[in-house]
Amino acid sequence: MGKTDILTNTSGYLDKTIRVAYLNLFSLGAVSQEAGEGEVMIALSDSISEALSVSPPDDEVLLSSPLVAFRGFVQSISKQLKPEQGLVIALDEFEKLGELSATGILSEDFLNLLKEIIQEFPNIAFVFSGLHSLEELSEELSDNFFHHLSDSFLPIHVGFLSQDETAALLADLDEELKLGCLPETSAEIHRLTAGQPYLVERIGFELVSFYKRNRGEGDHINDYSFTSQDLTAIVNRGNFLSLCRYYFTGVWNQAQKDGPIQHEILTTLAKGQARSTVHLQNELSVTAIGKELEILKRRDVIVANDKGEWKITVPLLSYWALEQSQI
């Protein structure tokens, strides 16, 4: 139930006249220096053709004249769409475009083409999804690859679930067996996860698995509600945190990638005690960490309490980080 799940499930919540073409740019793998732009266009064209059940341009054409061929394909799609129809092209992990630009694989003309499509074809829209905002990447990338696009997009923050939303998600974990959580169990799950969607869903999955493992094939009880004791049983298992590692390592690796200070901030906060900005600066022997704190806050990794002191938003992340520091 992270951003990827939202994008891949969007079609089910839209009017049938709106189609979504989804492409995770990490699925491109290693893109060649010589024909990389064409390879990106092939992947884009394939995702569109799958969403609309139309034939994409020949690969040879896209490889030889990628921008011209893709523009012609999009133009033909726009003309085929009825007045009430629309196409959303969803690019997940869009930061990959910046990486391909930095290595010279994508030209500035590629980005100009995207902006041209946005402006010229009102029945076709783009959604970019990633850990960064376009504004952040415009500041970080020296070639300003995303600078000219930032004014064409509306930022949408994908936040955490509220306690009520967490309870609603956990109320029906298995439709056939009618499994759900008691209110106090849902509240404790929300406390542990802060409503982080992937973690909430993962704990729900583990509760259902726990139920099935501990009851025989014909020994299921319908309308069972998980208790706090059930939750404690799965959380206290030795491998529980490793089961949630995709979220933890994602946050940790991104902090390391963005620089040592962010990683040091999280390592310090993982010890459990909230700290003020000044306290963190003194403890880490740095003069200014405001920018790093703001980035971590914007990504929902840290949050300030009512005293203005910082702590890690998700308690489970603190537990995992502390465990890693002791290995």
Q: Which CATH architecture has domain 3-152?
A: 3-Layer(aba) Sandwich (3.40)
Q: What is the mean pLDDT of the chain?
A: 87
Catalogue the E-assigned strands of 84-152: 86-92, 124-129
What secondary structure does DSSP assign to 169-225, as a single string? HHT-SBTTTTBEE-HHHHHHHHHHHTT-HHHHHHHHHHHHHHHHHTS-TT---TT-E
Distance between CA atoms of 12 and 50, rounded to whole angstroms? 16
Tell me how far CA of residue 175 lies from CA of 124, 166, 167, 222, 224, in angstroms.
37, 17, 16, 10, 11
Q: Would you give the distance in Å from CA 219 to the centre of its chain?
A: 38
The single residue listed with the structure tokens 């979504």 is 20
Query: So where are the chain's domains?
Result: 3-152, 173-237, 251-325
Task: Please tell me whether residue 284 adopts helix, strand or coil conformation.
Answer: helix
Count Cβ atoms below 10 Å from residue 22 Cβ, excluding itself: 20
Chain segment 179-230, per-residue pLDDT in tens = 999 999 999 999 999 999 989 999 999 999 999 888 765 565 677 899 999 9
* Pairing assessment for the beta strands 180-181 and 18-24 based on DSSP bridges: unpaired
Chain segment 220-264, per-residue pLDDT in tens = 567 789 999 999 999 998 889 999 998 999 899 888 887 788 888
How high is the pLDDT of residue 302? 94
pLDDT (mean) for 132-148: 65
Looking at CATH, the fold of the domain delimited by 251-325 is given as Arc Repressor Mutant, subunit A (1.10.10)
Q: Would you give the distance in Å from CA 323 to the centre of its chain?
A: 24
Chain segment 104-124, per-residue pLDDT in tens = 898 888 888 988 999 999 999
